[in-house]
Amino acid sequence: MKQLFLVRHAKSDGADPQLPDKDRKVTAQGQQQVAYLAERLKRDKVKPGLMLCSDATRAQQTAQQLAVDLGVSKEAIQIKPVLYEESVSLLIEAIKAVPEDVQCLMIVAHNPTLSWFATYLNHDEPVSLSTCGLFAIQFEIKSWLEITEVEGEVVEIP
């Protein structure tokens, strides 16, 4: 069984119009969002074996804080610039490249791509991830290569 957690980055500061989008940082409110999400995940004993993360600052900050809070090593975070793009196909390719021994995968990235992908995985029932929103699903598969060939079971994290 494989578990996939899609996490949209925490709230970031969009107040400085001269700051490039990729360089926007998580706000104090965003840090609280991450702490709350980590508590929810810890209650369910979620500990990703690998975290794929966009190269945007706010996504990296979100992933790093989640890793610390969940007891995941920094080495388990892989920065993937393609996760900043608005492309579900690039996201799927990144997932298919995950080693088979990883049972629990977390992706920290952006909308609209994460919501589009979650909607696809949710049998086209609309999913809209807010900042630091979570979509969790598990699959009865042995390899991440099978991710688009099977139906998964959406997991509720209270």
Q: Distance between CA 86 and CA 103 in Å, rounded?
A: 26
pLDDT of residue 74: 93
**Number of folded domains in the chain?**
1
Instruction: Judge whether 115 lies within some domain.
Output: yes
At 9-26, the pLDDT tens digits run: 999 987 777 889 999 999
Q: Distance between CA 88 and CA 104 in Å, rounded?
A: 20
Instruction: Judge whether 17 lies within some domain.
Output: no
Residues of the domain holding 95: 2-11+25-155
Instruction: Judge whether 20 lies within some domain.
Output: no
Instruction: Judge whether 74 lies within some domain.
Output: yes
Average pLDDT over residues 27-34: 97
At 33-87, the pLDDT tens digits run: 999 999 999 999 999 999 999 999 999 999 999 999 999 999 999 999 999 999 9
Pick the closest to residue 4 from 131, 138, 98 (CA basis).
138
Q: Distance between CA 22 and CA 12 in Å, rounded?
A: 11
pLDDT of residue 17: 78
Q: pTM of the entire structure?
A: 0.95
Instruction: Judge whether 38 lies within some domain.
Output: yes
Instruction: Judge whether 134 lies within some domain.
Output: yes
Amino acid at 106: M
Instruction: Judge whether 118 lies within some domain.
Output: yes
Specify the CATH number for the domain of residue 130.
3.40.50.1240
Instruction: Judge whether 117 lies within some domain.
Output: yes
At 101-144, the pLDDT tens digits run: 999 999 999 999 999 999 999 989 999 999 999 999 999 999 99
